[in-house]
Structure 1
Amino acid sequence: MGLIKISSLGKAYKVYANRWSRLSEWLSLRKSNKHDLHWVIRDVNFDIQPGDAVGVIGINGAGKSTLLKLITGTTKPTEGRVEIKGRVAALLELGMGFHPDFTGRQNCYMSGQLLGYSKQEVEELLPEIEAFAEIGEYMDLPVRVYSSGMQMRLAFSVATARRPDVLIVDEALSVGDAYFQHKSFEKIRRFSQEGTTLLIVSHDKVAIQSICNRAILLANGSVLMDGQPEAVMDYYNAMLADRQKQQVKQIALDGGRIQTVSGTGGASVTEVRLLDANGKAVEVINSGEKVFIAVTIDTYEDIPRLVFGFSIKDRLGQVVFGTNTHHTQQALCDVAAGSRINLKISVVANIGVGNFSLQTALSGDDTHIAKNYEWRDLALLFTVVNGLYPHFDGPTRLETHIEFESL
């Protein structure tokens, strides 16, 4: 079983004022330093237990790729240590280890041997690798004629030809067509269910929340948050609007879920209720039932343009449906401080059985990035049951009618 243990890990690069400073340091008999250290990551600590699936997220430059290179040993740490137990397969950069002038088949042998396979084992695995990569006649052409998507297909197929104890995947899977991305994530999900320890870096919120049971948020080279994927992704979402001098707070709700509330505080959703057709507040509704979302908004400053948005999320925090008054062309203009606004939204709940939450947003445009007055996750929790229709599977209920035609 795979285990990853990171202890006080840090990576710094030397920065010289000019090339002469570098030369002076090299020639100095006293070995005096003529450089400053630029820390990419520092004092990173976490453990990943066997069978865990952990997602690493963060804005560009947060240190995600450097962290993976340190873990896989392609870069040496400046301080700290990395301990890994089990056979490791890593997919960091497209074509890493591939020779451009060798064919795909020849590169399979080289990459396989780098992963610890014998020549005979690679030969046994080649039919499976070819079948999964689906690159056809390109298997016997030089890799230099491959597209980036084809390189990713072959590299992933080799790295996952056998289930590893530890699988490490960087953003490489974001390259390529939707079909192969789906196919790859299904294989990763199966490996995770079978006991592979997974460490994945991705900006894909759906991938992180559907595959991982834990997420780590990196910021400025340090671990900012480590916890449930939904709570970490909500906090990351709040960080994207951080330049607005907003406040971000997290509140522990009953049941252990973490609510994230962020924004400048210029306006706030002060009440949210889910109502049935008779106007009664409910927490359990039927699939296909018409319900109403009643919202009260209070403003605390003059707002030139106010957009209200909401999303319905499933138990993993993935959006089932969302919209806002920018898209419906109902944004409010010149809202005065001290105003109270009541909204009533009618919704036909054609969604599947399960537990859901409502997220609300108050912004100045179609997203919260430019002007975030308030973003509130888990503003309301409710349950959907099916007491009106025949059994169905999936997150949505579609109107269907089956007709038989005699032959």
Structure 2
Amino acid sequence: MNRRHARRQGMIALALTGAMIALAGCAPEPDVQPTPTPTDSAVVPYDGPVVFVGDELESFLLTPAEVAEAIPEATGVMNASAVLEQVSDGGGTAAVPAICDALFAEQSLGSVGARVTRWMTPSDPEYGQGRVEVLQFADEQQARDRMDQLLQAAADCGQFTKEAPVTFDAEILDEVDGVRAFAGTLLDIDGGYDWRVFQAYAAVGNVVVMLNQPFTGDRTYDAQAAASLLQQRAGDARDALVADLTENPPVPEEQPVTDAAQPWSEWAIGVDGVGPVLLGDAVDVAVAAAGGTATPPTFDRGPWIVENPEATASMLIQQAEDAETVWYVTVGTRRGESAETPQDGAALPALGDVRVGMPVSEAFAALPGGTIVDVASSGEDYYAVTTREGRLFRFDTEGDAADGTAIIIGITVEDATQRASLRFG
């Protein structure tokens, strides 16, 4: 019985007798149930690609105690570094079988980002240090391809030949929830030099983790324990990322709007390209869209170089390795791919407020969480940041990119998912 109805019954009772008024006054209060409120729908767990970017890579790194567990002689474990040093000088004599060269390859080649931690091994004065590299690839497939190669080498290369006989004694773990891992000791000691190294690997999503410890003399390491350690840490990192992306679903970046009729200086560099020059377009279409004066490649599959009408700035348009479409576009220059045109940063497109001619610290601030790469063989120095969708922004510098005052000489946007896998044999 609702309240209005109760009052109406009370008035009828008043017209009859006082006793009825008393009865009405003593009527029980109605049993009013609260109106149910809509409940939030159940949270749907993130089930997209497992792609780590930037500082998320640090979740794979080992603590000093864990490093000491894997490498008992390790001391002075350093903090995570976003500086990746590469040699990139090719290899020596080819291995037989060819896949065994995967064990000698510089694993960071082809990666788009990294976090590195190092430690000292004072008991081994010849080498004196080891490291863990957490390597970010553009997508899951690239990391999967690299780990496929490494696991094939671990399985097939117990004994093989390079300059001389080589052995690799490996422990390959069962895959656990998509995380693969193995570890082993490589001995290449009969080819005129003595190379001994303990290696451990784990991979999940777009990440491959490598532990590397060179040594001299007769040493043994617990391959099963080291591989298990990396596998467990990788699984934890994957779970934490999925939880974070469930709570904060990723939102792809959008390409800034550009008026192609405007001069280059008004064009924007974004995830899809530079102004109307778009990644994935046919190369001839992109070259035409750039305008200016175009110079075709001077070597097979080299870049087109386009100069602006004033001949004060240039743009490089690079085709993919196995297609006739645009892989990356550079405004300004990259070492080894430069035109004779002097680069006027004010005449070139910009990435937000960052232009050629500015100190690289401007890129650090605008796009934090990237990786500084120093390539010894070519002298290249650059800062790179990659989106979760595999779009890489690269800022080449004149001088050491780790020095924030180094000047940007070129800005590149690349579809890094188009990078080819390493080839052996």
TM-score, structure 2 normalization = 0.24
Structure whose CA Rg is larger: 2
TM-score, structure 1 normalization = 0.24
If each structure's strand is expressed as a fraction of its own residues, which one has the higher value? 1
